[in-house]
């Protein structure tokens, strides 16, 4: 259990809703849910979630901290915004899902092998290098995410697609060596450094 | 209409529905002079379009008849149909009002024999049946219409149909030269009893009211039950005329939803519970009703009604706001998708017919009143001193059932009476 997680458990005791309101992005909306269930019914991935959004909200109120934070449910959100469009109380449900996922990740409770989480981390690492996503590198790293043999197989299967994209000038093999980026790379570094500093300070509070 | 006598001791009641009739009659029976205007060709309003009232399940025709008799018997009430308020100015105790009366093309000679209706060929969507059936170009608004007098649709004027109607009339009751009339009157107090309208179900995109024939509204469902209605009192679904025996009711269709109406319309829970009894009335144990709800708001004494419906084995309750409706092309059945929040079970339930329990919104938008009135966030008129001697009765003031609308109307009559009494005192 991470230090921050331990500190949060002690700070909020049995009041998980309070914890969510204070720490999760858009978390203060959770209390506005009236449990009508329209978000769960509207979610195109709904059948594959352990706990659809409105059940997560009820679990937060019921104080089921471990079950919520270690759940893979909020990681299933594809940001289609169906739930936000239909919610009768205008809860930003998509954003709450991402907020919960991020909070769980920060506490070290998110399921390690959750593919969305793995992808998100790879996407981020790829993006921060140059300020632009290097699609070739991202794609190749995804192919080999689950081992070398599977990577080769996936790459072979996707070869015609890659060739087509090269032909249409949507993908350049030269991207593998360096690749394109933002003009002001120093400025980008400064932004990311500042953001990292704020994030570290938040977490460091609980490590002292 | 030169024969209207109104002074600043007169009360003007706008709207001839159950609230307007009540407010007008309560004031008139207290000896006050009242002018009751109604924009349609007959009084009765939305109540006359219901099959039964809750909770006693009696027929509105009975209550309507009593009110009509009271109007007929009371010399203090002057009823003007097909009339609207065009302009209002002034202050409490002294309002100048301009009324506009649309031509009816039928005079008081009419005996409602129906010969003109038979002679005319043109047909129009029936307003009384919410467009589910047709009516003729010369028509009686409905069986219980008061006044019992035919009306010609303005769009047949100048066509051969109008001449046919005139020729068919044995009582010389049709006057094709009738024109719109403007009348200026002075009144002391005004009661807006302008009522409500069902929320436009087309706006609730996921429910497909605009796309699926077998998704109808609760007000249309009432019309299906009427023996004089579009289906002769049978629960036939619109797509194929098949008897609908498995009927779903969706609550909060447009209400309690920030995308549509923010407020709870209050009547829809009881209306759907009542409508499940229609299913039982038609099919006994062969009918099935399912209510999809967020929570049932059957308040105070009408909770008994809810308990009785719950005890009916053929009525089931699913705690869920339905996410969307799709149509099974082969059968025409609407299929409801969502999650039952009791147990979190995902469902895809086909039904013969879906009834949307649509919400209530004020029928006059706040900016459309001819004089400024204070309204709340939901567009209903507030009890506010800034309104002077303009009072709201019934559903102009809030989403109310018939019982509460009548109470509200009586209260507004009392408020108006106080104003005209004060005027009378000053003039002493």
d(Cα A84, Cα B208) in Å, to the nearest integer?
A: 19
Mutation for testing the B interface, residue in A55, A88, A90, A93 having most B CBs under 10 Å: A88
B344 interface with A at CB cutoff 8 Å: yes
Q: Sorting pLDDT into bands at 50, 70 and 90, what band is A172?
A: confident
Query: pTM for this structure?
Result: 0.90
Q: Sorting pLDDT into bands at 50, 70 and 90, what band is A34?
A: very high
- pLDDT at position A144: 87
- pLDDT at position B84: 97
- pLDDT at position B299: 73
- On chain B, the residues whose CB falls within 8 A of the CB of A88 are 252, 256-259, 321
Q: Report residue A72: phi and psi, to 5°.
A: -95, 0
- pLDDT at position A69: 96
Contact: B252, A88; criterion CB under 8 Å: yes
A28 interface with B at CB cutoff 8 Å: no
Classify residue B266 by its DSSP letter. Answer: S
- On chain B, the residues whose CB falls within 8 A of the CB of A52 are 339, 344
Domain B198-360: which CATH number of 3.30.70.360, 3.30.460.10, 3.40.50.300, 3.50.50.60? 3.50.50.60
Classify residue A44 by its DSSP letter. Answer: T
- Spell out the domain ranges in chain B: 10-101+180-195+363-427, 115-168, 198-360
Q: Percent of chain A having pLDDT more than 70? A: 98
Q: Which residue in chain B is spatially nearest to A40 when comparing CA positions?
A: B339
Q: What is the pLDDT along chain B (428 residues), one digit of tens a residue?
A: 446 778 889 999 999 999 999 999 999 999 999 999 999 999 999 999 999 998 899 999 998 999 999 999 999 999 999 999 999 999 999 999 999 999 999 999 999 999 999 999 999 999 999 999 999 999 999 989 999 999 999 999 999 999 999 999 999 999 999 999 999 999 999 999 999 999 999 999 999 999 999 999 999 999 999 999 999 999 999 999 999 999 999 999 999 999 999 999 999 999 999 999 999 999 999 999 999 999 999 876 788 999 999 999 999 999 999 999 999 999 999 999 999 999 889 999 999 999 999 999 999 999 999 999 999 999 999 999 999 999 999 999 999 999 999 999 999 999 999 999 999 887 65
Angular region, A194: left φ>0, alpha ψ -120 to 50, beta rest: alpha
Q: Sorting pLDDT into bands at 50, 70 and 90, what band is A9?
A: confident
State the DSSP H helix or E strand holding residue B301, giving kind and residue range, or none if neither: none
Q: How far is CA A196 from the centre of its chain?
A: 17
CA distance B266 to chain A (A): 17
Q: Which residue in chain A is spatially nearest to B347 when comparing CA positions?
A: A41
- On chain B, the residues whose CB falls within 8 A of the CB of A92 are none
Contact: B346, A86; criterion CB under 8 Å: no
Q: Which alpha helices (H) appear in A24-169, and where do they start and end?
A: 38-42, 53-61, 65-69, 82-86, 93-107, 115-130, 135-143, 148-167
CA distance B342 to chain A (A): 10
Q: Which two tokens stand for residue B305?
A: 């009604």
Interface of A with B in 44-63 (CB under 8 A): 46-47, 51-52, 54-55
Instruction: Please name which of B414, B12, B381 lies closest in space to residue B195, comparing C-alpha atoms.
Output: B381
* Homologous superfamily, domain B10-101+180-195+363-427: FAD/NAD(P)-binding domain (3.50.50.60)
For residue A42, give the nearest of B257, B324, B340 by CB distance. B324
Helix or strand or coil: residue B234? coil
Per DSSP bridges, beta strands B353-358 and B189-192 are unpaired
Class in CATH terms, A3-111:
mainly alpha
Interface of B with A in 198-237 (CB under 8 A): 206
- On chain B, the residues whose CB falls within 8 A of the CB of A36 are 252, 294, 320-321, 341
CA distance A105 to chain B (A): 26
Contact: B341, A46; criterion CB under 8 Å: no
- On chain A, the residues whose CB falls within 8 A of the CB of B256 are 34, 88
Classify residue B397 by its DSSP letter. Answer: T
Instruction: Please name which of B341, B273, B338, B340 lies closest in space to residue B312, comparing C-alpha atoms.
Output: B273
A178 interface with B at CB cutoff 8 Å: no
Contact: B346, A47; criterion CB under 8 Å: yes
* Residue the block writes with tokens 């649509």: B358
pLDDT digits over A48-96, tens only?
A: 889 999 999 999 999 999 999 999 999 999 999 999 999 999 999 999 9
Helix or strand or coil: residue B408? helix
Q: Which two tokens stand for residue B128?
A: 């009384």
- Spell out the domain ranges in chain A: 3-111, 115-198
Instruction: Please name which of B188, B209, B187, B191 lies closest in space to residue B200, comparing C-alpha atoms.
Output: B209
Indicate the Cα dihedral angle B12, B16, B21, B22, nearest 10°. Answer: -90
B354 in Cβ contact with B250 (< 8 Å): yes
Contact: B322, A38; criterion CB under 8 Å: yes
A73 interface with B at CB cutoff 8 Å: no
- Reported ipTM: 0.86
């Amino acid at each position: 259990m991470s230090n921050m997680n331990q500190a949060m458990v002690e700070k909020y005791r049995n009041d998980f809703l309070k914890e969510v309101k204070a720490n999760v992005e858009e978390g203060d909306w959770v209390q506005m849910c009236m449990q009508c269930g329209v978000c769960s019914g509207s979610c195109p991935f709904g059948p594959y979630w352990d706990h659809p959004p409105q059940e997560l909200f009820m679990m937060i109120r019921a104080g089921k901290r471990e079950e919520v934070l270690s759940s893979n449910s909020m990681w299933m959100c594809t940001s289609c915004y169906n739930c936000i469009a239909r919610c009768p109380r205008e809860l930003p449900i998509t954003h709450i899902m991402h907020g919960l996922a991020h909070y769980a990740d920060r506490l070290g409770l998110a399921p390690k092998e959750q593919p969305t989480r793995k992808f998100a981390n790879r996407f981020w690492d790829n993006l921060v290098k140059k300020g632009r996503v290097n699609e070739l590198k991202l794609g190749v790293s995804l192919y080999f995410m689950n081992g070398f043999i599977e990577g080769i197989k996936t790459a072979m299967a996707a070869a015609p697609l890659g060739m087509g994209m090269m032909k249409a000038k949507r993908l350049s093999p030269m991207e593998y060596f360096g690749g394109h980026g933002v003009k002001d790379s120093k400025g980008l570094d400064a932004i990311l450094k500042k953001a990292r500093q704020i994030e570290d300070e938040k977490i460091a509070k609980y490590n002292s | 209409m030169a024969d209207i006598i109104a002074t600043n001791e007169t009360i003007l009641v706008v709207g001839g529905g159950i609230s307007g009739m009540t407010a007008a009659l309560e004031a008139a029976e207290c000896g006050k002079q009242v002018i009751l205007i109604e924009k349609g060709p007959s009084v009765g309003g939305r109540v006359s379009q219901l099959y039964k009232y809750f909770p006693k399940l009696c027929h509105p025709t009975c209550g309507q008849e009593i009110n009509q008799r009271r109007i007929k018997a009371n010399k203090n009430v002057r009823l003007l149909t097909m009339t609207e308020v065009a302009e209002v100015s002034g202050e409490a105790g002294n309002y100048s009002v301009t009324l506009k009366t649309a031509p009816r093309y039928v005079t008081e000679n009419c005996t409602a024999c129906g010969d003109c209706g038979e002679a005319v060929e043109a047909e129009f969507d029936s307003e009384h049946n919410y467009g589910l059936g047709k009516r003729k170009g010369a028509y009686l608004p409905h069986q219980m219409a008061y006044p019992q007098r035919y009306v010609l649709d303005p769009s047949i004027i100048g066509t051969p149909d109008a001449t046919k109607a005139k020729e068919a009339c044995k009582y010389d009751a049709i006057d094709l030269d009738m024109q719109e009339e403007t009348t200026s009157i002075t009144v002391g107090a005004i009661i807006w009893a302008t009522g409500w309208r069902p929320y436009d179900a087309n706006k609730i995109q996921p429910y497909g009211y605009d796309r699926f024939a077998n998704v109808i509204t609760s007000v249309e469902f009432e019309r299906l039950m009427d023996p004089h209605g579009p289906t002769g009192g049978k629960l036939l679904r619109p797509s194929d005329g098949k008897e609908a025996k498995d009927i779903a009711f969706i609550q909060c269709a447009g209400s309690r939803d920030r995308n549509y109406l923010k407020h709870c319309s209050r009547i829809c829970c009881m209306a759907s519970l009542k409508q499940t009894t229609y299913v039982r009335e038609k099919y006994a144990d062969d009918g099935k009703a399912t209510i999809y709800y967020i929570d049932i708001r059957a308040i105070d004494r009408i909770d008994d009604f809810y308990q009785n419906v719950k005890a009916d084995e053929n009525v089931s309750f699913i705690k869920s706001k339905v996410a969307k409706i799709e149509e099974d092309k082969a059968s025409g059945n609407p299929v409801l998708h969502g999650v039952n929040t009791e147990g979190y079970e995902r469902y895809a339930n086909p039904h013969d017919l879906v009834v949307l329990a649509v919400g209530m919104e004020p029928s006059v938008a706040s900016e459309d009143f001819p004089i400024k009135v204070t309204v709340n966030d939901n567009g209903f008129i507030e009890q506010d001193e800034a309104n002077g001697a303009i009072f709201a009765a019934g559903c102009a003031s809030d989403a109310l059932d018939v019982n509460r609308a009548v109470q509200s109307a009586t209260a507004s009559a009392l408020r108006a009476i106080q104003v005209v009494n004060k005027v009378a005192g000053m003039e002493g």
